[in-house]
Structure 1
Amino acid sequence: MIALEFKLKGKAQQYRVIDEMIRTAQFVRNKALRYWIDNQGVKLVDLYKQCALMAKEFEWAGKLNSMARQASAERAIFAIQRFFVNCQAKKPGKKGYPQFKKHTRSVEYKTSGWKLSTNKRGITFTDGFAAGTFKLIGSRDLHFYSPNEIKRVRVIRRADGYYAQLCINVERIEESIPTGKAIGIDVGLNHFYTDSSGETVPNPRSLRKSEKALKRLQKRVSRKKKGSSNRKKAINKLGRKHLKVSRQRKDFAIKTALCAVKSSDFLAYEDLQVRNMVKNHKLAKSISDAAWYQFAQWLQYLGKVYGKTVIAVAPQYTSQDCSACGNTVKKTLSTRTHICSCGAVLDRDHNAARNILAKGLRLAAITLNTVGHTEINAWGQNDLYSLVVTSTSKSTD
């Protein structure tokens, strides 16, 4: 499944109709959640039936396509399922009890309620709201996909306009040239990441660079009268700036992950619990700005697309243990150089990256039933790596 995003170009009246569609989808989702609260144990089929009853009870709710109402009910059931999964897993802290939505920004259609134009450069919404035809602005060509392959159309409102995401039921597979290289990746704040060969990628610090402009725009919002049109304009400018920062962060995460995946056949990275790390209020902003979790997600996704082995390893003691001899060398966060009694002198992050690679290779060896080869020296892991790659290629043939 891939998602292609296009910007919707239409008239102001059409955008107001989309806002009504989004509000209706929010209403259906909240009503479905209320029905579950009042009737514990209901299933998705029961919520589908409630969607049909809502269409009869509320005329304006009936304007929304029937499958779009079902998709809104699915959002409620997904939130309920996530809550129960967190409870069963005994997740620490709040378990995410489903909440009523107040500021929904999207509405989702399935296979009906919309239609692509003949040249596939426009989309028409055909349900009761009759939003009309919008031009699709984007660089992707939809002629490669048949309409039957498009399983969902999601309309999203953002600070800079309205977008349509088309979810297409195709599998993305990219060809890649084997490099015979294995790397371990240690993420950080000084450098975005340091790999096991000593190469570093600078931290872009997108939020920090835009912080001055964000503060200025936030002041403008605070000075405007509540409810005034000038305040709405100021809020929109602030939202556009935040949107730009988030796009910069996402773009950097994708491009960096793509370079790492293409340049190596085996990648090991830290499985960090970012949610717990941001509880440190002194580092929370910098950690969030680095977007480690987003980078890890793209590593996993691109690894599958390009057929590379990507493994997440536990981060415990990767900075404290010596990658040369295995001895533990205690360090504080301010200590940036690893100095061991065996004579190894390395940058702290470089040492951690070597340990991460060793852990990843060890885990891969165990997975491939090569328990006899789990003794690894992080300074020379080529023999074991060749065994891992060979076993992986045989298992996929």
Structure 2
Amino acid sequence: MFVYEYKVNPKPQQITAINEAIRTSQFVRNKVLRYWMDHRGVGKTEMFRYNTQLRKEFKFVEELNSHACQSAVERVLKAVNRFYDNCKKQIPGKKGYPKFKKNTRSVEYKVSGWKLSDNKKYITFTDNKGIGTLKLIGTRDLNFYQLDQIKRVRIVRRADGYYVQFSVQLDPRDTVKPLIPSQKVVGIDVGIKYFLAESCGNIEPNPKFYRNGEKQLNRINRKKSKKYRKGKPQSHNYHKVRNRYALKHLKVSRQREEFVKRVALRLIKSNDFIAYEDLNVKGMVKNRHLAKSISDAGWSSFRCWLDYFGYKYGKITIGVSPHNTSQNCSKCGEKVQKSLSTRTHVCPHCNYVEDRDINAAINILQKGLSTVGHTESYKLGECDPLAPLEQSCGVTIGL
């Protein structure tokens, strides 16, 4: 499943209509969630029946396309099922009890409620919200795909404007030609000082996009706080500064996403086999001393793109256990205890000296090669490369 995204420039009345459609979708979701909370044990059928009742009861809900209302119900079902699954698996800590939404930024249509123009450069939303026709700004050509391949259409509101996303049912391997085997293998060790170190000795510097922009972010945030009026409607100047703050965060997140995508694609194209650490990033960010640096590095996003590109180009990506990869000597296999501050591996047993991260990358490669062919666990990481990118990795193919 591909997600193609296009920028749109709606007129003021269209912006009002889009925002109203988003609020209506949020209203349906929250009402259905409240219905589930008040009638514990109700299932999918009862939720969709309650959605039909809402459409009869509220005129503004009826104005929104019925499939868009159903998508809002499906979001509730997804949250409820995830909560039950976490309880059944006895995951430690919070189980993810469904919460009400107050700042929804998108509305999703299925196969109705919208219509593409003949040249597929314009989209018209045909429900009674009055959004009308929007011009799609982007380089991706939808003429290559049939209409029945487009399964979802989503309008997304971001700090820099509005976007329309198309979920196209397509196997990623059908869009590229097979690569010539490079006959190379590599193990990679992600870190904070370096973004990653390869077993062959290459080092990828850590760009630290958030750290570099943190000073400017804090300055804008202080201005926003000074203009905030507690218990009163916020001024126009407050919303201007708030939007500047959101734009800066959006820029940082896009920089990080493009960086990890570029590095992952380079590794996939230059190697036939990639081994990486199967890190528990969710647990690691609970360390308050390292949480900001780990999040800034974007390890989870990098891992998702690595698995996706590996599936797309027919390369093997293996996640291995990170246990003792930094402590063991890659030459003799003896364990050499070292703290995080020790950046050079010096083995007293065989006198092998190497950078700590490169030594770990070699150990990761050795583990990965010994794991090939085993089927006792899922070795492609947490992201399913066959699942829609928007669901599994939170990534979107750009304009």
CA-CA distance at 1:42 after TM superposition: 2.0
CA-CA distance at 1:367 after TM superposition: 4.1
CA distance in 1, matches of 2:54, 2:116: 28
Confirm or deny that 1:267 pairs with 2:274.
yes
CA distance in 2, matches of 1:4, 1:24: 24
Amino acid of the structure 2 residue aligned with 1:133: T
**Structure 2 residue matching 1:297: 3-state secondary structure:** helix
CA-CA distance at 1:23 after TM superposition: 0.5
CA distance in 1, matches of 2:189, 2:145: 39
Confirm or deny that 1:202 pairs with 2:210.
no
Aligned position for 2:245: 238
Q: Alpha-carbon deviations, 1:331-390, whole Å to 9, x = none?
A: 10001111111121111101110111111111114349xxxxxxxxxxxxxxxxxxxxxx
Counterparts of residues 182-197 of structure 1 (less than 5 Å): 182-197=185-200
CA distance in 2, matches of 1:20, 1:199: 51
Confirm or deny that 1:298 pairs with 2:305.
yes
Query: Which blocks of at least 5 consecutive residues in structure 2 are unaligned?
Result: 377-399
- Given candidates 287, 290, 294, the residue that maps to 1:280 is 287
CA distance in 2, matches of 1:253, 1:168: 24
CA-CA distance at 1:38 after TM superposition: 1.7
Amino acid of the structure 2 residue aligned with 1:300: D
Confirm or deny that 1:355 pairs with 2:358.
no
Stretch of structure 1 that moved more, 190-199 or 278-287: 278-287
Confirm or deny that 1:249 pairs with 2:256.
yes
**Structure 1 residue matching 2:165: 3-state secondary structure:** strand
CA distance in 1, matches of 2:53, 2:186: 56
Structural RMSD (CA): 1.1
CA distance in 2, matches of 1:365, 1:329: 30
**Structure 1 residue matching 2:136: 3-state secondary structure:** strand
CA distance in 2, matches of 1:258, 1:33: 40
Aligned position for 1:378: none
CA-CA distance at 1:216 after TM superposition: 1.5
Stretch of structure 1 that moved more, 81-90 or 314-323: 81-90
**Structure 1 residue matching 2:135: 3-state secondary structure:** strand
Amino acid of the structure 1 residue aligned with 2:192: L
CA-CA distance at 1:40 after TM superposition: 2.0
Counterparts of residues 315-326 of structure 1 (less than 5 Å): 315-326=322-333
**Structure 2 residue matching 1:366: 3-state secondary structure:** coil
Amino acid of the structure 1 residue aligned with 2:325: T
**Structure 2 residue matching 1:137: 3-state secondary structure:** coil
Aligned position for 2:184: 181
Amino acid of the structure 2 residue aligned with 1:184: G
CA-CA distance at 1:225 after TM superposition: 4.4
CA-CA distance at 1:35 after TM superposition: 1.4
Confirm or deny that 1:215 pairs with 2:215.
no
Query: Which blocks of at least 5 consecutive residues in structure 1 are unaligned?
Result: 369-397
CA-CA distance at 1:89 after TM superposition: 1.8
**Structure 2 residue matching 1:23: 3-state secondary structure:** helix
**Structure 1 residue matching 2:98: 3-state secondary structure:** coil
Gap change, CA 1:225 and 1:93, over 3 Å in 2: closer
CA distance in 1, matches of 2:304, 2:179: 20
CA-CA distance at 1:43 after TM superposition: 2.1
Aligned position for 1:342: 350
Counterparts of residues 32-47 of structure 1 (less than 5 Å): 32-47=32-47
Aligned position for 1:107: 107
Confirm or deny that 1:133 pairs with 2:136.
no
CA distance in 2, matches of 1:271, 1:122: 43
Q: Alpha-carbon deviations, 1:201-251, whole Å to 9, x = none?
A: 110100011111111211221121431011011100110010000000100
Q: Alpha-carbon deviations, 1:52-73, whole Å to 9, x = none?
A: 1110001111111111100000
CA distance in 2, matches of 1:147, 1:230: 44
CA distance in 1, matches of 2:108, 2:325: 44
CA distance in 2, matches of 1:19, 1:138: 22
Amino acid of the structure 2 residue aligned with 1:94: K
What's the TM-score, normalizing by structure 2? 0.90
CA-CA distance at 1:199 after TM superposition: 0.6
CA-CA distance at 1:49 after TM superposition: 1.4
CA distance in 2, matches of 1:344, 1:218: 49
Counterparts of residues 19-168 of structure 1 (less than 5 Å): 19-168=19-168
Confirm or deny that 1:366 pairs with 2:369.
no
Q: Alpha-carbon deviations, 1:142-166, whole Å to 9, x = none?
A: 1111111100001111000011110
CA distance in 2, matches of 1:117, 1:130: 17
Amino acid of the structure 2 residue aligned with 1:299: L
CA-CA distance at 1:13 after TM superposition: 1.1
Gap change, CA 1:219 and 1:43, over 3 Å in 2: same
CA distance in 2, matches of 1:66, 1:240: 33
